[in-house]
Amino acid sequence: MLRDVIIIGSGCAGNTAAIYTARANLKPLVIAGHEPGGQLSLTTLVENFPGFPEGIDGPALVENIKKQAEHFGAEYLHGTVVEANLSKRPFRLKVDNEWHEARTLIIASGASARWLNLPNEQKLIGHGVSSCATCDGFFYRGKQIMVIGGGDTAMEEANFLTRFGEKVALVHRRDAFRASKIMLERVLNNPKIELLTNTVVDDVYDASQNLVTKVKLRNVKTGETWERSVDGFFVAIGHIPNTAPFVGQIELDPDGYVISKGGARTSVTGVFQAGDVQDRTYRQAITASGAGCMAAIEAERFLEAEGH
Ligand SMILES: Cc1cc2nc3c(=O)[nH]c(=O)nc-3n(C[C@H](O)[C@H](O)[C@H](O)COP(=O)(O)OP(=O)(O)OC[C@H]3O[C@@H](n4cnc5c(N)ncnc54)[C@H](O)[C@@H]3O)c2cc1C
């Protein structure tokens, strides 16, 4: 069946695009992907999405957006886009083993945070382990915070988190930093930040309490290990945009993020993007939702102009 719109991804961006395209009577199909609900499904309390004065659990928020889209006729398909042919219209997508066709596409496949793959890390995401200082810093007022990483993002997050934490320990596996000189200097001049170089984290605890309480650290030069009390554990080692099926099909930057050609447009006419898959700056639920709205309006106007 040839669709007017297929939306790739069921996070805030994809689900919001689904509300708008469904209300425009375009009967969108949303491919949910390996992580239905997207990154918000990993977290607990979200306090910065407008409209919820007491905050709302991440999974509930994204499920509500999905229900709102379904209410207007959006359809969801469990599956992952593994291959795409965007060289001519209609566009073709292989979802697991089946090909689907659409006049327009909205790529809202997000960018997954890189994790350290520690034995207990995944169990504690949303319970002290985070990849987003803007999102979760506020929960650690007066607490002990640890940031992992050696690039600009880690420096920025460590500096930002000193607004909340009593102390911020910045852990980096080498003694040289990828971060720019100016960002590193800000860290070095911040009295609330302690640098732990040549150090890696072996694990984070305590999954049995469902709460981060401490980490096990190891000096890579001496082999010495020790434990340290921590309340908030922020992993800032980058993101991986989920664009593998589109490599060679649309313009991506060297890290794999979709390049915007103005608003929600991409290098391929009729293919639009929304959310973290294009955004390496803001990475918030509200910006992803806003981008989903933009992509949906673009898709609708494109179809209208083409007489559909
Ligand atoms: C732990 C954590 C806490 C956070 N807390 C907050 C917060 O408090 N406030 C806030 O505003 N933001 C928060 N964020 C950030 C927020 O979750 C993201 O900015 C937002 O989810 C981005 O939405 P998105 O739709 O662009 O992408 P994502 O949420 O990443 O969704 C991407 C979707 O694409 C799908 N997908 C990927 N590849 C494919 C494929 N090949 N085929 C089909 N589907 C595919 C996935 O299954 C997923 O459904 C947090 C993030 C994390 C990780």
Ligand 1 centroid, distance to 303 Cα (angstroms): 27
- With the most atoms of ligand 1 within 8 angstroms of its CB, the residue from 76, 124, 135 to mutate is 135
Q: Is 232 in the pocket of ligand 1 (CB under 6 A)?
A: no
Ligand 1 centroid, distance to 218 Cα (angstroms): 31
Q: Is 19 in the pocket of ligand 1 (CB under 6 A)?
A: no
Q: Is 283 in the pocket of ligand 1 (CB under 6 A)?
A: yes
Ligand 1 centroid, distance to 222 Cα (angstroms): 39
User: Band of the pLDDT at 44, cuts 50, 70, 90?
Assistant: confident
Q: Which long-range CB contacts under 8 A does 77-85 form with residues at least 24 apart?
A: 77/29, 77/30, 77/31, 77/32, 78/32, 78/36, 79/31, 79/32, 79/33, 80/31, 80/33, 80/34, 81/8, 81/31, 81/33, 81/109, 81/245, 82/245, 83/245, 84/245, 84/246, 84/249, 85/249
Atom of ligand 1 nearest to the CA of 35: 47
- Read off the pLDDT of residues 46-77 as tens digits, 9 standing for 90 and up: 999 999 999 999 999 999 999 999 999 999 99
- Read off the pLDDT of residues 145-177 as tens digits, 9 standing for 90 and up: 999 999 999 999 999 999 999 999 999 999 999
Q: Is 9 in the pocket of ligand 1 (CB under 6 A)?
A: yes
